[in-house]
Amino acid sequence: MIVHSRPDVLRVLFTLKGSIVKRIALRCLLVTLLAALIVLVERHYPERFSPVSATPFTLLGLSLSIFMSFRNNACYDRWWEGRKAWGRMIIEMRSFVRESTAIADQRLRAELLRSLCGFAHALNAGLRNEDPLSAARPWLAESSAISSHNVCDGILRELGQHCSDLAQRQQISEWRYTLLEQRLVGLSEVQATCERIKGTPLPFPYTLLLHRTIYIFCLLLPFALAEPLGWLAPLFTTIVSYTFFGLDAIGNELEDPFGRDENDLPTDAMVRTIERDVLSALGHEPLPPALVPVDHVLS
């Protein structure tokens, strides 16, 4: 995630960190060169150039802008829902840590709380198509028998079983067990929410239609601008293509908010926050440092 202070005029115009320019520069350049070639043909061989009315492009551009705004809103909703899910996970874990103070066996309590860190690492790794078990293993007890099928759910099952055993042995009250179980249910809902976002992309035909229409629009636009604008046509074609290609690329990036792109969610930093909270509750010193932005990027 990009972390910038309030940008000034120069930063708005020239900053590349977090900008979508790097991803669409080649496409914009090709469209600009095409526009320049079309103007050159129109100027030197006017008899071979048939003027094209700009009216269809006005109507198509307006419709395309509306459709793209719908898609980008849907992609941003996915990004924001992912952020709310991770925020809820931090809340549930902090609540579990606080409510676990009723567990008298401090060794078992430490094992349970470290398993929470394992859950966070496993979920983060799974959402990034990495190995969840390898990410969680340093935080799990040696006796833990978590399978690689669904590491996050396996951790929650073990936590739930430990809490149930404590209640049966009357080491915690039924009321306390209910509170702890509610936290585990909340973490399970967070996992399901993130998996739903990760595993359910926007409908492909809808995205494909927008991609094709954007390319067609940007490639044909110079034919309508060449005669009335002359050598200004490549400039305005570049501006239009930058806008449409940029919005399209931003939507693609926000559609999956759990990756390692510059504008994705800083899940590594949130996992570190959970680590610090858990280790602080267990009395560990010094705590691992909180992650900070590196070159304005918080991972």
Q: What is the pLDDT of residues 245-254, one digit of tens each?
A: 888 888 888 8
* Residue 186 confidence (pLDDT): 95
Do 1 and 265 form a contact (C-beta atoms < 8 A)? yes
Angle, CA 83 vertex, CA 248 and CA 271 arms, to 5°: 120
* Residue 296 is assigned to a structural domain of this protein: no
Q: Which residue has the higher pLDDT, 129 or 14?
A: 129
Q: Distances in Å between the alpha carbon of 209 and those of 203, 214, 215, 217?
A: 10, 9, 10, 12
- Residue 10: inside a domain: no
| % pLDDT > 70, the chain | 91
Percent of the chain with pLDDT over 90: 38
Is 294 inside a domain boundary?
A: no
Q: What CA–CA distance (Å, rounded) separates 42 from 49? A: 6
pLDDT value of residue 14? 56
The larger pLDDT score, comparing residue 145 to residue 150, is at 150
Give the separation between CA 81 and CA 194, rounded to whole angstroms: 9
Asked if the structure places residue 69 within a domain, the reply is: yes
Tally of domains within the chain:
1
pLDDT given at position 4:
64
**Is 290 a domain residue?**
no
pTM: 0.86
Residue 104 is part of which domain span? 18-281
| pLDDT at residue 2 in the model | 66
**How does pLDDT run across 32-73, given as a tens digit for each residue?**
999 898 888 888 777 766 767 777 778 888 888 888 888 889
Taking alpha carbons only, the member of 79, 95, 90 closest to residue 119 is 90
The number of C-alpha atoms within 13 Å of 45 and in the hemisphere containing its C-beta is 7
Does 77 score more than 90 pLDDT? yes
Asked whether residue 77 is domain-assigned, the answer is yes
In the structure, how many helices (H) and strands (E) does the chain have? 10, 0
Closest C-alpha among 244, 195, 215 to residue 62:
244
User: Does 251 fall in a domain?
Assistant: yes
Amino acid at 133: L
Please indicate, yes or no, if residue 3 is contained in any of the structural domains.
no
CA proximity to 152, closest of 115, 179, 201: 115
Angle, in degrees to the nearest 10, between helices 55-99 and 174-199: 160
Name beta bridge partners: 294.
297
* pLDDT tens track for 275-294: 999 999 988 889 889 888 77
Given this model, what pLDDT does residue 8 score? 59
What is the pLDDT at residue 296?
66
